[in-house]
Structures are given as structure tokens and as C-alpha cells.
Structure 1
């Protein structure tokens, strides 16, 4: 169930080529209080990031993406261009090697649970970027 969002509700960008995984992540993040943008590939993700960079506080991306860019490349570009955006990278069959994740990025395995995602968000998001449901749980 989606709660009405006001202008202060932060956005997250969910990027995954698998529609079921993407929809599951969107549901989890909306329940955590975010408004969401979705992208099927890295090119669409970068278009959305360029258009909405001030509103997006979290990138949630899979690793294997259709197109020319994978999740590591998107995460590195986001970390370099928009350091205010926190990053979560998820994969079911690839574990990042040392140095593959951008600084500050967090890896979680697929299939992830809502509790797992919320726990990581509690750790990586600054308090000012947490939507109300996550702020309420951190007290």
C-alpha cells in the first residue's frame, strides 16, 4: 500500500533488467517511504539521474543489466558525479571483488528481503535523506 507522498519525500532509482526483481525492489522501497523511479538499463538510469539528480537520494541497482553498462559502471558513475546519492548494488550470482564497488556502495545478495534492505538503508542513508518510515524505525 502506497502512502501519499509530499514534496519532502525522497526518491530512489531502481535499476534492474528483471521486471519481477525490479517490481519487488520498488515495492520494498515504497513501503520504506520512498517515491521511486525505475529503469530497465543503465542508459535509461543515466537519463533519469541527469533529470532528477537533486531529488534522488538512493540508487538501487542490479549488476547484470541490458545494454552497454552494468551495475558496477552505473554505481561508479553515480559515486563520481552525484556523491550525495547512496548506492546499493544487488546480485544473485556475482559477488563483487575488492575494488569493484564504488566507495560507500553497499552490496546485498538477491533474493533480498524487505528487512535486509531496510537494515542496509538504516546504515547507509544520512538521517536527513531517510523517508519518514525509516526515521521512525531508527529511534
Structure 2
């Protein structure tokens, strides 16, 4: 399981804006106001990916949909999830929540035996559901994120 870029930046910036921070001082204004869809990357990844989707609603929603439609389980490794771009502003727990459950980041998540863009965050295995591996413990990643309703 691979990502084309970092997640949580748009939601972090939105929360900073709503807390009263000026537009010029929020962490990632470009991610919030002018996100760039990964069109070129998507076309290249499509040549070898088993599955791929954008992460506009949340990584958790995207992975749960892939898991359900493909009849597989997805296990993310906490050690592979980059959070430094968020922990500069929020706690480790809040950073992980933003990374997994926030929307607005127009990155791609894909499954493939070959990495062409981005970085690895986990693997596809037999079973059902989406899980986060912390050491030798697994915890369920809920179907949660941005709702259009």
C-alpha cells in the first residue's frame, strides 16, 4: 500500500484558520486553498496498480472501500506513517488522527507490487477490514472521514 504524498495538511490548516490564525500564518495554505490533483502520477500508477483511489475524503474511507471491494485486508504499519509534518504543530495522537481521518488532501493511495511514486505505508493481506499495526498489536481503522451530507 503506497501514498503519493503527505496527508492531514489541509485539515490542519483549516483548523488553524478556524481557531483565528491568519491565512498567511497557517501551516499549509497551498494544501488548503489550491490543492493539486495527482493526474500525471495517477496515469503512471494505473499502468501497474491493483487498485487506486484519491484520498479527498480520508485515507480511512479510501482504504476501507478498497478492502471491501477487493475482499482483502489492509494493514498499515505505524512505523511507516510519516507524521513529522504534523507533529511540528500538534501532538502525535492528533497527527495520526489527521493523517488517517481528515479530508481535503488530493493524494492517491494505491496497492501494487511495484512502487512508482510516493512511499509505502502498509500491505495487503488475506482477511477483512483495515488495521493499524503498532508493534505486535492491531487496531481497527474505522470507516470515518469527511461526510458530504
TM-score (norm. length: structure 1): 0.26
TM-score (norm. length: structure 2): 0.25
Whichever structure has more helix as a proportion of its residues is 1
Structure possessing the higher radius of gyration over alpha carbons: 2
